[in-house]
Amino acid sequence: MGQPVNVGIVGCGAISAQYLRTIERLPQVRLVAVADLDLERAREAVLPYPEVEVLGVAELMADPRIGVVLNLTIPAAHAEIALLAVAAGKDVYCEKPLAATSEEARRVLRAAEEAGVRVGCAPDTVLGTGTQTARVAIDDGLIGRPVAATATMMTPGHERWHPNPDFYYVPGGGPLLDMGPYYITSLVTMLGPVASVIGAAGRTRSKRTIGSGPRQGEEIPVTVDTHVTGVLVHASGALSTLVMSFDAAATQAPRIEVHGEQGSLVVPDPNHFDGPVLLSGVGDEGWRTLPESAGYAGAGRGVGLLDFAATGEPRAGGTLAFHVLDIMESLLASAHSGRAVTVESTCERPRPVALETAGG
Ligand SMILES: NC(=O)c1ccc[n+]([C@@H]2O[C@H](COP(=O)([O-])OP(=O)(O)OC[C@H]3O[C@@H](n4cnc5c(N)ncnc54)[C@H](O)[C@@H]3O)[C@@H](O)[C@H]2O)c1
């Protein structure tokens, strides 16, 4: 192993604790400093880590020790923070989506290319044993030629538990841009890039009520679609049917199924790193669980940073994240126009992950 990468986090809200826990156990990654618009929040986040400095955003960007900026701000700030990191000559790894719009994301990728720095982006959950084992099963021909997939995420909405859920209901949020990255990144990992989409979408309410925390009972505006459905036409010809909703009480539908000419797979929740992958061949009775055969075992959010310690395009990379954002925007454009939309971007499937324990 070479030198660990030195990381600075910008944005110390709800998700930061999970990253802090992962980084703590990855010898390839060292957290140097954190920053947030709310300095008190940043201080609280690193109370268990006295060696980590609390800095202003500009100070963190200027810190020569930091090689990678981990951008855990809200979607509306993703591009702004990523562009600051790139301008400072640092690699950047962003929470999803890569930016609130593909136009902003394109600016980030262009600036990074010109500056010769790398862009990574969540979700890295798909580098875990769940999606990776399913990918290997497909690549090994266990279901024959893949022809279709379903992906279903239906909940009543994050305002029930998140103390500051405003960002989930403005552009950059909604069930599609918030949860779609997990599902679509998993689908692209298994079935390859998407060439065109057909969508339909709805919005049930113009306001939501915060369900927990100091702002409980406060109403927040909804300016995005909260139930989005559609079909993704993969370049391979496979068809994925997607349902992403903040308008349902619950569901028993599998998160993801992939169907091939010879068999079907149940793929675990792509918002998690692991879970059983089930296979049923044509004519089989019932399902059998496949042994874990690929992916980071025991991983947590932040494992995508591991590729920054090596060279090359990170597997949780900017080009893939851009394609996923482009697919989602195209789906919404299709929903609003009532016509199929060609997805202009494409990407390679990310390199597979051999079975290993995250962090070694
Ligand atoms: N909460 C979750 O369970 C969860 C899970 C997975 C991914 N994510 C993603 O992580 C990101 C952050 O989500 P969260 O739930 O932690 O949000 P949050 O609102 O709890 O925290 C965001 C933090 O970023 C700070 N911030 C915003 N703009 C900033 C700026 N310009 N400069 C510096 N700091 C800034 C805010 O002050 C806040 O502390 C989002 O992209 C979200 O989609 C969240």
Does ligand 1 have an atom closer than 6 angstroms to the CB of 57? Answer: yes
Buried/exposed 21-41: b ≥16 CB within 10 Å, e otherwise: ebbeebebbbbbbbbbeeeee
pLDDT at 97: 98
CA of 278 to the centre of ligand 1 (A): 34
pTM, to two decimals:
0.98
CA of 57 to the centre of ligand 1 (A): 14
Please return the burial class of 250, using the count of CB atoms within 10 Å of its CB with bins 0-12, 13-18 and 19+.
exposed
Q: Give pLDDT < 70 ranges for the chain.
A: 1, 360
How confident is the model over 147-192, as pLDDT tens digits? 999 999 999 999 999 999 999 999 999 999 999 999 999 999 999 9
pLDDT at 310: 85
- For the CA of 38, the closest atom of ligand 1 is 37
Output the DSSP codes for 125-167. Answer: GGGBHHHHHHHHHHHTTTT-SEEEEEEEEE-S-GGGT-SSGGG
Length of the chain: 360
Does ligand 1 have an atom closer than 6 angstroms to the CB of 278? Answer: no
How confident is the model over 195-235, as pLDDT tens digits? 999 999 999 999 999 999 999 999 999 999 999 999 999 99
Bridge partners of 199, per DSSP, are 230
Phi, psi dihedral angles at 45 (to 5 degrees): -60, -35
In sequence order, what are the residues at sequence separation of 6 or more whose Cβ sits closer than 8 angstroms to the Cβ of residue 314?
93, 118, 119, 120, 304, 307, 308
Does ligand 1 have an atom closer than 6 angstroms to the CB of 229? Answer: no
Residue nearest to atom 25 of ligand 1 (CA): 11
pLDDT at 358: 85
Half-sphere exposure of 88 (CA within 13 A, CB side): 23
Q: How far apart are CA 263 and CA 252, in angstroms?
A: 21
Does ligand 1 have an atom closer than 6 angstroms to the CB of 41? Answer: yes
pLDDT at 51: 96
- For the CA of 178, the closest atom of ligand 1 is 43
pLDDT at 1: 56
pLDDT at 15: 98
